[in-house]
Amino acid sequence: MLTVALAVTLLWGLSAGIAWWQVRHEIDELFDTQQMQFARQLLAADLHDFDDDSARLPRGRELLPKSLPKARRGSLEDDALSFSVWSEGGEQLFADGGEHRLPPPDGQYGFYDVRLDGEAWRVLYLALPDGHRTAVVGQALEFRDEVASEVLAAQLLPWLVALPLLLLAVWLTLSRRLSPLKRLAVQLRARNLDDATPLQATLPSEVQPMLDAINALTGRMADTLTRERRFTADAAHELRTPLAALKVQAEVAALPLPDIDRARALSQLDAGIDRATRLVNQLLALTRLDPLAGPADTQTVDWARVAAQVQADAAPFAAERGVRFTVSGDAAHALPLAGDETLLALMLRNLADNAVRYSQDHGGEVELTLAPDAVSVLDNGPGIAPELLPRIRERFFRPAGQTETGSGLGLSIVERVAQLHGLKLLLENRPEGGLAARIVCG
Which residues share a beta bridge with 110? 125
| pLDDT number for residue 393 | 77
Mean pLDDT of 287-314: 84
Mean pLDDT of 277-284: 71
Give the model confidence (pLDDT) of 359-384 as tens digits. Answer: 877 788 999 999 999 999 999 888 88
- Nearest CA-CA partner of 317 in 394, 424, 410, 391: 410
Instruction: Say which residue, 438 or 50, is predicted with more confidence.
Output: 438
Most confident residue range from 97-101, 279-283, 294-298, 320-324: 320-324
Residue 130 has pLDDT above 70, yes or no: yes
Give the model confidence (pLDDT) of 68-110 as tens digits. Answer: 665 554 455 556 788 888 888 888 888 876 666 788 888 888 9
Question: Could you state, in order of their start, the residue ranges of all structural domains in the chain?
Answer: 2-62+78-156, 208-289, 299-441
| pLDDT number for residue 51 | 52
Percent pLDDT > 90 in the chain is 16
Q: How confident is the model at residue 190 (pLDDT cuts 50, 70, 90)?
A: confident
Mean pLDDT of 211-226: 82
For 208-289, CATH gives 1.10.287
Most confident residue range from 53-67, 256-270, 385-399: 256-270
Q: Is the dihedral of CA 337, 339, 344, 345 positive or negative?
A: positive
Give the model confidence (pLDDT) of 25-82 as tens digits. Answer: 898 999 999 999 989 988 888 766 555 554 455 555 555 566 666 555 445 555 678 8
Mean pLDDT of 240-259: 75
Asked if CATH classification 3.40.50 holds for the domain at 2-62+78-156, the reply, yes or no, is no
Give residues with Cβ within 8 angstroms of 19, minimum separation 6: 152, 155, 156
Give residues with Cβ within 8 angstroms of 327, minimum separation 6: 307, 308, 311, 367, 368, 369, 370
How does DSSP classify residue 360? Answer: P
Mean pLDDT of 415-435: 89
Q: C-alpha distances in angstroms, 222 versus 235, 252, 394?
A: 20, 45, 20
Mean pLDDT of 157-182: 82
C-alpha to C-alpha distance for 48 and 359, rounded to whole angstroms: 136
pTM strictly above 0.85: no
CATH architecture of 299-441: 2-Layer Sandwich (3.30)
**CA 24 to centroid of chain Cα atoms:** 44
Burial class (CB in 10 A: 0-12, 13-18, 19+), 417: buried
**Average pLDDT value for the chain:** 81
Mean pLDDT of 256-265: 80
In terms of DSSP bridges, do strands 338-339 and 133-140 run parallel, antiparallel, or are they unpaired? unpaired
What is the Rg, in whole angstroms, of the alpha carbon atoms belonging to the chain? 50
Alpha helices in 254-290 (DSSP H): 259-289
| pLDDT number for residue 188 | 82
| pLDDT number for residue 396 | 65
- Nearest CA-CA partner of 437 in 402, 399, 389: 389
Mean pLDDT of 306-320: 90
Helix (H) or strand (E) segment spanning residue 33: helix 2-44
